[in-house]
Chain A
């Protein structure tokens, strides 16, 4: 039928849909942590070079987000939280997302190599590979520890930032990695406790489904205990100091207390108050990471070390 409605149904994306493919909200975490990693490193970097480096690290993160959406389009279509993403909503075709992901991956790695150094660029390439292939394609659908593995990909940006300045890896950057790596599971599992997404229907083994919600609560508390020593240890290195240590001790005390409260509750109590404790803990976890990295930045500004 040849009328004005001939065009209806043909997926035609607007610019914002391609931006959405890059997961801008995840990117904001990448930008902030990569910037802190780069800025507090002992080697001075020209501010414009630092800006460009962080930009291309973020672009690499965005590219891996697009590859994730390309592969996970079937899962995204099933779950309420992700059904509005460009591919399941029918605005961007799957091969197009793959093309955007691969092209931006190549561009971001090449540009980071030219802006900073090739070690940092290789590190970024590895991170994209890790998130897109190891996490998304391989392990996300096969193990309930998927969040732990995905957390590693999110923990690399401060190490890449550090590598941009220093050209290598050191204890400080490994500890920044550990801070995000061990923070991710309790952060995400707290969300899984109250969001109750239908992961089972989507075919993703989520800890709350495979091992039960009580086991998830135990896992959350265990990870907060593992996380604390690494956060404190970071304060004892060359990038730490009295200010960072004060902030870290306070935040870890609050985080362990929150984890303990989650551990001590059962589902009946949680249902009764609408998952109030879990929601507060999730909010606290956002502040936890943000304030740790902000404290590193402030400590660098007032002078690091003991």
Chain B
């Protein structure tokens, strides 16, 4: 019997190898695309780095300058709270 005869077991092995290869490629593409989306959507990218930074401080309420319009700060603050 010729040695190069393909046994059924080789077909199963190939299916496993090709399948795993495709899954890994898909995973890499997925993580890359996710990175692009996350960066473009402007999520907070900076983490804690042992000392406070201005960009990490909570935004100040601009209310103190104009006591006449007390309702305004609450309205402008709303979009930030919802995220």
Contact = CB atoms under 8 A, between A and B. Distances in A.
B34 A12 contact: no
Interface of B: 1, 5, 7, 9, 11-13, 15-16, 18-20, 30, 33-34, 37-38, 41, 82-83
Interface stretch (A44-52, A150-158, A174-182): A44-52
Given A49-B34, A49-B37, A15 B19 contact: yes
27 contacts: A4-B1, A4-B5, A4-B7, A7-B9, A12-B12, A13-B12, A13-B16, A14-B16, A15-B15, A15-B16, A15-B18, A16-B15, A18-B16, A18-B19, A43-B82, A43-B83, A46-B37, A46-B41, A48-B33, A48-B34, A48-B37, A49-B34, A49-B38, A49-B41, A55-B30, A114-B34, A115-B34
Interface residues on A, range: 10 to 19
B12 A14 contact: yes
Interface string A61-99: 000000000000000000000000000000000000000
- Pick from B1, B16, B18, B33 the residue with the most CB of A within 10 Å: B16
Instruction: Tell me the interface secondary structure of chain A in the complex.
Output: helix
The 3 closest A-B pairs by CB, nearest first: A15-B19, A14-B12, A14-B15
A52 B83 contact: no
A12 B37 contact: no
A12 B13 contact: yes
Contact of A12 (B5, B9, B18): B9
Contacts of A48: 33-34, 37
Interface in A9-57: 10, 12-16, 18, 43, 46, 48-49, 52, 55
A7 B20 contact: no
Contacts, number: 39
A46 B42 CA distance: 12
A19 to B, nearest CB: 8
Nearest to B16: A15
Given A7-B7, A15-B18, A15-B19, A52 B30 contact: yes
A16 B20 CA distance: 11
Nearest to B83: A43
Contacts of A14: 11-12, 15-16
Given A43-B82, A46-B37, A55-B30, 5 more contacts: A13-B12, A14-B11, A14-B16, A46-B41, A49-B41
A53 to B, nearest CB: 10
Contacts of A16: 15
Nearest to B26: A55
Nearest to A3: B1
B81 to A, nearest CB: 12
Interface string A256-274: 0000000000000000000
Nearest to B12: A14
Contacts of B16: 13-15, 18
A55 B33 CA distance: 14
